[in-house]
Structure 1
Amino acid sequence: MTSQSQGIQQLLQAEKRAKDKLEEAKKRKGKRLKQAKEEATAEIDHYRLQREKEFRSKETSVMGSQGNLSAKIEEQTTEAIRNLTSSYHRNMEGMMKKLLSTIFDISPEIHPNFRPAV
């Protein structure tokens, strides 16, 4: 009987060791899953930051070039206004003389289609 109880004791101990090993394996698996999740999250964050940095770089280059275009257009507009103003001041006096001479120098003539009544 003692051998049977010893055998049962050994089986119970073996079962307990197996249960302990199983629990230990589950804990290790849980730790590995948690570690893998943390690593994946860190990798995702790193990738996201990298892509955002690239996006901002491209956005800056595109928006920067639009800013340059805006400045260039503003400069061209200012130059065109300056040219028109100087042209106006150069030609204003001559044009006014021409306009006034046309208005004041009237030479009455008979129209070529006029037929005097007989």
Structure 2
Amino acid sequence: MASQSQGIQQLLQAEKRAAEKVAEARKRKNRRLKQAKEEAQAEIEQYRLQREKEFKAKEAAALGSHGSCTTEVEKETQGKMSVIQQNFQKNREAVLSQLLSLVCEIKPEIHVNYRING
């Protein structure tokens, strides 16, 4: 019976060691899963940053050309406005005097289509 008891003790100890090994293996597995998850998150974040950088570059290229068109149109508009202002200043007096002479100098005339009944 003593040998049977000793065998049972050995089995219990072996079972305990096996349970400890299984627990240690689970811990290693969980640590490895956590490490793999962190690595994947870092890789995902790096990929996201790379794609965002590429998007910003393409967006800047597309909007950059649009922005240059806007500035070009703005310069052209300013040039035309300055020409119009110069023409206005140059012709202002002549137009005003012509308009005033037409309004103030009245020449009464009979219209060509007017008929005198007689």
TM-score, scaled relative to structure 1:
0.78
Question: Could you tell me which residue of structure 2 aligns to residue 46 of structure 1?
Answer: 46
Aligned residue number for residue 67 of structure 2: 67
Superposed CA deviations along residues 50-70 of structure 1, whole A, max 9, x for unmatched, are 122122222322332333222
Aligned partner of 1:27 in structure 2 is: 27
C-alpha distance in 2, partners of 1:20/1:107? Answer: 124
Alignment of 1:1-118 (within 5 A): 1-96=1-96, 98-100=98-100, 102-103=102-103, 107-118=107-118
Q: For residues 111 and 63 of structure 1, what CA distance do their matches in structure 2 show?
A: 65
CA RMSD of aligned residues (A): 2.4
Structure 1: runs of 5 or more not aligned:
none
Distance in 2 (CA, whole Å) between partners of 1:92 and 1:48 is: 63
The structural deviation recorded for 1:110 is: 2.4
Which amino acid counterpart does residue 76 of structure 1 have in structure 2? Answer: E
Count of matched residue positions in the alignment of Structure 1 and Structure 2: 118
Gapped regions of structure 2 (runs ≥ 5): none
Structure 1 position 117, deviation (Å) = 3.6
Cα offsets for 1:83-110 (capped at 9, x unmatched)? 2123334444554454455446655432
| Counterpart AA for 2:28 | R
**Distance in 1 separating the partners of 2:34 and 2:98:** 93
